Amino acid sequence: MSTVNSPRVRRKTILPVLVAAAVILVTVAITSSRPDGIPANAATPSDLITLRPDGSVVMAQRGVKSPVLEVYEDYQCPYCQEFERTNGETIKQWAVQGKIKVVYYPMTIFRKEKSPVTHDNSHRALKASLCVTDPRKWLAYHDELYTHQPEETAEGGFAIEDLVAYARKVGIAEADFAACLNSRESSDRAAEVSELALTRKVEGTPTVRLNGEDIDWSTPWAGPQQQV
């Protein structure tokens, strides 16, 4: 887990709860309408995305309110990349199946005074994520950032031209995206989003919470014991 003061320290598991245990016990009620436009029984994870004003992103079938899985993540954090590789697809499957509500909180955990290069890389990636305004494109861009994650200490990682290229690849309008990415407003918003996460007692990334309780993110959640 990447922490505020150290990019390479993994925090010990606080509460080794299996997400599936809660998932199995939940009966989901699907309603017939929802103002955010998500179709009933949406077929893909990207169909489930809602972008919220505070920078967080919800992935859930309409009507699904619990259990809630919160993921605080930093695109430059190697442990966040590990978590995404280990459990990212499982989370998407559960969301599509209507078993869980996922809330992503992209942020920058690295402090500029401690790790200036790593902070700047992370900050650029976070800005880029916040500049994705089409909910159906957000998840694809999110995945591109982890696919192309640079080394933590690579100066100039997540270069602007690369971030724009990833946007082009997933079908985001390049001109508007680039203008947002280079704006002072997007930089300020990225800083605000990160500070908000820190007020929620997030001390490292990834921080993964099930119904408000920190859980073990490091082991695969998919397996025979988790089959519903």
Between CA 41 and CA 31 the distance in angstroms is 10
CA torsion 139→140→142→143, rounded to 10°? 120
pLDDT of residue 222: 82
Q: What CA–CA distance (Å, rounded) separates 9 from 2?
A: 6
User: Within the chain, which residues score under 70 in pLDDT?
Assistant: 5-41, 223-228
- One-letter amino acid at 122 equals S
pLDDT digits (tens, 9 = 90+) for 188-221: 999 999 999 999 999 999 999 999 999 999 999 9
The answer to whether 16 touches 217, Cβ cutoff 8 Å, is no
pTM of the model: 0.84
Q: Domain 2-29+40-219 sits in which CATH superfamily?
A: Glutaredoxin (3.40.30.10)
**pLDDT for the residue numbered 168:** 98
**Residue position matching structure tokens 């077929």:** 43
Residue 126, pLDDT score: 98
Q: Would you give the DSSP letter of residue 154?
A: -
Strand 207-210 relative to strand 68-73, pairing: antiparallel
Alpha-carbon gap, residue 151 to 206, rounded angstroms: 17
